Structure 1
Amino acid sequence: MVRFGYTLMTEQSGPRELVRYAQAAEEAGFDFAVSSDHFSPWLVSQGHSPYAWTVLGAVAQATTRLELMTYVTCPTIRYHPAVVAQKAATMQVLSEGRFVLGLGSGESLNEHVVGQGWPSVDSRQSMLVEAIEIIRELHTGELVTYDGEYFRVDSARIWDAPDGGVPLGVAVSGEESIERFAPLGDHLIAVTPEPGLVTAWDAAHRGESRKIGQVPISWDPDEDAAIDRAHDQFRWFGGGWAVNAELPTPAGFAAASSFVRREDVADAIACGPDLDKLAESVLPFLEAGFTDVALVQIGDEQQQRFVDEIAGPLLERVRALG
């Protein structure tokens, strides 16, 4: 059975609001919640970017059933992998086993801020390989020393290591990244519903795994208002990973998306009050073989009403499709 999640979009809501939305999402019946882990919003109009790990810790205490996941954390530049290992272990203990650590090679938008530059794609992926190896070793609870090309860990131990460690999801975008990361990760993460990704992952992973995707929607009683909000806050979405990983600032995303038209966004993202139309936007992921799909309700303006009133009926529709 397909599982459906709610997205804690840290770029568009403040920390207290995100905790409240997570509680409402659990009450509405979502199976899991994913949280972005950003230093900056994609666009200035989104207006937020609280520290995801503090929010997730609060959400872990404010919920009892909802599985939690980062979607995704880059454990290589802004964070050292040993620190990510410690944070993830603590989250797993706080949530009593409800946490999945989603990892990826990152975006310049969030990683350049610490002044360490922005490496090439090949280097970033090699760094991610080492980071995953370090995190895996530290989650055993044993003393770890690691001397890699990019990272060194000196006599480190996670003292509050959960039994069995923390499941790892890894973001992939094509055959090359699948070849590198399928043997290292537990679950696939991808934002495009390509059947080839699932097939290639299964061939390389050779074990049970989840395939976790994400779909933006813009619910509003007024379809024009829904489209306007999606265009204002989510027009960056169409750039694709190759573009989105490289731009360093919200101003850069604004410039890169300045020629994206309102109708372009309406064609790409389901907008308006029609719940059947919104539900059908998950079909490409279901047809591609994804086992988990997280919904993103765009904008903070209608977020509370969405989780309180709309999420339940919408979940009935997407589960019927699944």
Structure 2
Amino acid sequence: MVQIGYTMMTEHSGPRELVDHVVAAEAAGFDFSVTSDHYFPWLDSQGHAPYAWSVLGAAAQATSRIPLMTYVTCPTTRYHPAVVAQKAATMQLLSQGRFRLGLGSGENLNEHVTGGGWPSASVRLDKLEEAVGIIRALFDGEELTHHGTHFDVTGARLWDLPDAPPPIGVAVSGDRSCRLAGELADLVIAVEPKAELIESFDAYGGAGKPRVGQLPVSFDTDHDAAVARAHDQFRWFGGGWKVNSELPNPAAFAGATRFVTPEDVAAGIPCGDDVDVFIDAVRPYADAGFDEIALVQVGGDQQEPFIQWAEKTLLPALRDAL
């Protein structure tokens, strides 16, 4: 059975609100949750970017059942992989085994803040591969000294380790990242319902491992308001990963999407309250082989009505349909 998740979108809400939202999502019956990890919002209209790891720690204490996951953390620039390992081990302890560490090669939007320039995609993947190795070694309890191509670690050790380390997921968008995920990760992460990504992941060793996708939605009983909100806050989504990973700030995303129309956005994001439209948008992920799909409700002030509608209408309908 396909599991349906809830996204704590840090670009949409402040830290206390994010925790309230995931508590409500747990009570509503969502199967799991994921959390973005941003330093900037994509667009100024989103208006938020609190520190995801503090939010996750609070969420671990405020909930008791729902799994938690970064979607995704870049462990190569803004954070050193040895520090990411410590954060993730601590989260696994706080959540009593409900945490998964989602990793990716990052976006210039969030990583440029520490300086040093933004490397090419191939270098970013090289760094991600090395970072995963460091994190794995520390999860194993090693006292690690590592002098690699991109990272140095001297005498590092995690003093508080869970009995079982958090599973590691890797975000994919092409063959190279699928190889990395298939060989090194415990699950795969993607934001597009492309069967070829799952097939490539399986071919590189990922067969039988969880596959987690994500889909933005814009619920509102007023269809036009739902479309307007999606256009205002989520029109960046259609830019594709090659573009979205390179732009440096919200102003750049605003400029890059200035010709995107509300109709363009509505064609890619289900809007309104017609449950069949939402099912039709989720189904391609299930058909492509994803067994977990996290929904992103657009708009921080729309989380409560969306969660209420999901509990009563959307979640039962999705579980019947998929």
Corresponding residue number in structure 1 for 2:178: 178
Residue identity matched to 1:8 = M
CA contact (8 A) 2:181 2:187 kept: no
CA distance in 2, matches of 1:315, 1:161: 35
CA contact (8 A) 1:36 1:72 kept: yes
CA distance in 1, matches of 2:209, 2:220: 35
Corresponding residue number in structure 2 for 1:266: 266
Corresponding residue number in structure 2 for 1:220: 220
CA distance in 2, matches of 1:287, 1:309: 25
**2:159 is paired with a residue of what secondary structure?**
coil
Cα deviation 1:49-79 (Å, max 9, x = unaligned): 0000000000000100000000000000000
Query: How much does 1:207 deviate?
Result: 4.7
Query: How much does 1:310 deviate?
Result: 3.4
Query: How much does 1:164 deviate?
Result: 2.5
Corresponding residue number in structure 1 for 2:135: 135
Residue identity matched to 1:4 = I
CA contact (8 A) 2:169 2:181 kept: no
Query: How much does 1:206 deviate?
Result: 4.8
Where does 1:44-193 land on structure 2 (aligned, <5 Å)?
A: 44-193=44-193
Corresponding residue number in structure 2 for 1:294: 294
Residue identity matched to 1:102 = G
Aligned-pair RMSD on alpha carbons?
1.0
Residue identity matched to 1:231 = H
**2:154 is paired with a residue of what secondary structure?**
strand
Structure 2: gaps of 5 or more residues:
none
CA distance in 2, matches of 1:308, 1:261: 29
Corresponding residue number in structure 1 for 2:197: 197
CA contact (8 A) 2:234 2:298 kept: yes
Question: What is the total number of aligned residue pairs between the two structures?
Answer: 322
CA contact (8 A) 1:280 1:318 kept: no
Q: Does 1:26 align with 2:26?
A: yes
Structure 1: gaps of 5 or more residues:
none
Residue identity matched to 2:163 = D
Runs of 4+ in 1 over 6 A off after TM superposition: none
Corresponding residue number in structure 1 for 2:236: 236
CA distance in 1, matches of 2:217, 2:207: 32
Cα deviation 1:130-168 (Å, max 9, x = unaligned): 100000000012211111100011000000111231100
CA distance in 1, matches of 2:272, 2:21: 20
Change (3 A) 1:138 1:230: same
**1:221 is paired with a residue of what secondary structure?**
coil
Larger mean Cα displacement after TM superposition, 58-67 or 298-307: 298-307
Cα deviation 1:202-225 (Å, max 9, x = unaligned): 121155310100011100010000
Residue identity matched to 1:270 = P
CA distance in 1, matches of 2:310, 2:291: 23
CA contact (8 A) 2:81 2:135 kept: yes
CA distance in 1, matches of 2:93, 2:69: 14
Q: Does 1:276 align with 2:271?
A: no
**2:170 is paired with a residue of what secondary structure?**
strand
**1:302 is paired with a residue of what secondary structure?**
helix
Query: How much does 1:121 deviate?
Result: 0.6
Change (3 A) 1:200 1:283: same
Change (3 A) 1:124 1:297: same
CA distance in 2, matches of 1:311, 1:117: 45
Corresponding residue number in structure 1 for 2:303: 303
CA distance in 2, matches of 1:279, 1:12: 24
Larger mean Cα displacement after TM superposition, 308-317 or 249-258: 308-317
Residue identity matched to 1:259 = F
CA distance in 2, matches of 1:23, 1:164: 25
Q: TM-score, normalised by structure 2?
A: 0.98
Identity %: 59
CA distance in 1, matches of 2:174, 2:226: 32
